[in-house]
Amino acid sequence: MEDGLNDVSTWGFEAKGRVTANTAADEEADLHYSIDPHQRISQDEAHEHIVKVDERFQVMQHAYVYDFETVVLAIADNQAEIIRSCVISFFY
């Protein structure tokens, strides 16, 4: 009998805050995310969805140093409201 335990995995999680009005507005200005603020992407698309280079490296650190196949990057405003999130799948 299949117990479903083989499907269990752990994801990495990186949270970022856009705490000033300007940084939150810049994040929210991207029309691509106003239509669908929650994206699932592959590692090959990360450079298109994660503009800040340091944030890309932090996500990659979760994947390669801590050995996570999936990493979530969540970006929130100063009210802790999620502006957008990316679920990134790494295949190696």
Q: What is the pLDDT of residue 44?
A: 92
The total number of structural domains that make up the chain = 1
Task: Please indicate, yes or no, if residue 4 is contained in any of the structural domains.
Answer: no
Task: Please indicate, yes or no, if residue 80 is contained in any of the structural domains.
Answer: yes
Task: Please indicate, yes or no, if residue 3 is contained in any of the structural domains.
Answer: no
Task: Please indicate, yes or no, if residue 5 is contained in any of the structural domains.
Answer: no
For the whole prediction, is pTM greater than 0.85? no
pLDDT tens, residue order, the chain (92 aa):
455 566 778 999 999 888 888 777 777 666 455 567 788 999 999 888 888 899 899 999 989 998 899 999 998 888 888 888 999 999 75
Domain span at 34: 10-89
Q: What is the pLDDT of residue 69?
A: 92
Q: What is the pLDDT of residue 72?
A: 95
CA angle 11, 85, 8 (to 5 degrees): 20
How far apart, in whole angstroms, are the C-alpha atoms of residue 15 and residue 69? 17
CA angle 50, 40, 53 (to 5 degrees): 10
Task: Please indicate, yes or no, if residue 70 is contained in any of the structural domains.
Answer: yes
Q: What is the pLDDT of residue 83?
A: 85
Q: Which helix (H) or strand (E) holds 21?
A: helix 21-28
How far apart, in whole angstroms, are the C-alpha atoms of residue 45 and residue 39? 11
Task: Please indicate, yes or no, if residue 57 is contained in any of the structural domains.
Answer: yes
CB 63 within 8 A of CB 9: no
Task: Please indicate, yes or no, if residue 50 is contained in any of the structural domains.
Answer: yes
Largest CA distance in the chain: 55
